[in-house]
Amino acid sequence: MTYKIRTFDVFTRRRLEGNGLAVVLDAEGLAPETMQAIAREMNLSETVFLLPPVNPGSAARAKIFTPSTELPFAGHPTIGAAWALWSEGRLDGLEHFTLDEEVGPVQIRKSAGERAEPMFWLTCPPISFGLVIDDRARVAAALHLAEPDLLPTVPIQLVDSGGPKLYVALRHLETVDRAVSDGHLLGALGEHLAVPVYLFAAAAPDRLYGRMFGPAVGVSEDPATGSAAGPLAAFAVRHGIVQRGASVALLIEQGTKMGRRSLLHVELTYEPGGDSPSLVEVGGEVAAVLSGELSVD
């Protein structure tokens, strides 16, 4: 059997930057174990397989795999899949639509970009703030850092939005680049912390600089993590790193240390008196790279 496959760089307008993504179109007939094998073969952060939608009115169903596991939701595959559908002429001019993912229907909107091609925005699944980790020295050591490198006023906390991540705020930008993704030490933090770790620092009042270490999901370091960007922005506002307003627009830079600079746009909306944002959207640009044919026995 043969399938059309395309690759994209997501959260960038420059090819060979951003986060690489493989999209297999019309993937009916592929078993989940075959999808996993294809994702392992592609060896990108994620590979997404597009299938007929489950829910009436959705544009497609998207199944997302890292090289080692299936994910219920991920940001750059969602944005890249939306862009792939648009570039293939499969959106029929829709400006708003949904993609069916394991986490449920994900809302997408299209907006004009700075180029001829559009930008796509996803609505984050509900954000929940979870366990706070008190052993700050041990978490710092797992990142090859010391406790004084951490921002003392901000907790180390699990935050979930379609998949939990551990957020670690650092004092300085250079400390973000000095950290090391160490699967052994991160895994030794405990089974309840076997999740991706997102470390970051403020680069400007409306800009954050971060890295995401994901040995727990088979990705040593991710160039751009759309599923982490919305919760990161909400976390930064919640703990005073970013000033709150009725609406907040942030730019998150990630992947630069890897030579895969990515720019993730986040927009948050807050209702008066609300503790958490009522709407969180993550958007980005996409650059098409390859188009070809995938052969599967």
Catalytic residue among 17, 28, 33, 46: 46
pTM: 0.95
- CATH fold label, 2-125+285-295: Diaminopimelate Epimerase; Chain A, domain 1 (3.10.310)
Looking at residue 115, what is its pLDDT? 75
Each domain of the chain, given as residue ranges in start order, spans 2-125+285-295, 128-280
Looking at residue 137, what is its pLDDT? 97
Active site residue 293: no
Residues composing the chain:
297
User: Treating both helix axes as pointing N-terminal to C-terminal, what angle do 226-238 and 75-87 enclose, rounded to 10 degrees?
Assistant: 130
Looking at residue 116, what is its pLDDT? 77
Q: How far apart are CA 18 and CA 24, in angstroms?
A: 19
Looking at residue 113, what is its pLDDT? 72
Looking at residue 269, what is its pLDDT? 98
Looking at residue 10, what is its pLDDT? 98
Looking at residue 254, what is its pLDDT? 98
C-alpha to C-alpha distances, 178 to 100, 146, 222, 226, 278, nearest whole angstrom: 38, 11, 16, 22, 35
pLDDT in tens, 97-156: 999 999 999 999 999 877 778 999 999 999 999 999 999 999 999 999 999 999 999 999
Map the chain to HEC letters. Answer: CEEEEEEEEECCCCCCCCEEEEEECCCCCCCHHHHHHHHHHHCCCEEEEEECCCCCCCCEEEEEECCCCEECCCHHHHHHHHHHHHHCCCCCCCCEEEEEECCEEEEEEEEECCCCCEEEEEECCCCEEEEEECCHHHHHHHCCCCHHHECCCCCEEEEECCCEEEEEEECCHHHHHHCCCCHHHHHCCCHHHCCCEEEEEEEECCEEEEEEEEHHHCEEEECCCHHHHHHHHHHHHHCCCCCCCCEEEEEEEECHHHCCCEEEEEEEECCCCCCCCCEEEEEECEEEEEEEEEECC
Looking at residue 191, what is its pLDDT? 87
Looking at residue 35, what is its pLDDT? 98
* Sites in the chain below the pLDDT cut of 70: none
Q: Considering the domain delimited by 128-280, tell me its CATH architecture.
A: Roll (3.10)
Q: How far apart are CA 162 and CA 125, in angstroms?
A: 6
Shortest CA distance to 5 belongs to which of 34, 45, 38? Answer: 38
128-280 and 2-125+285-295 share a CATH fold: yes
Looking at residue 274, what is its pLDDT? 82
In the chain, the amino acid numbered 229 is A
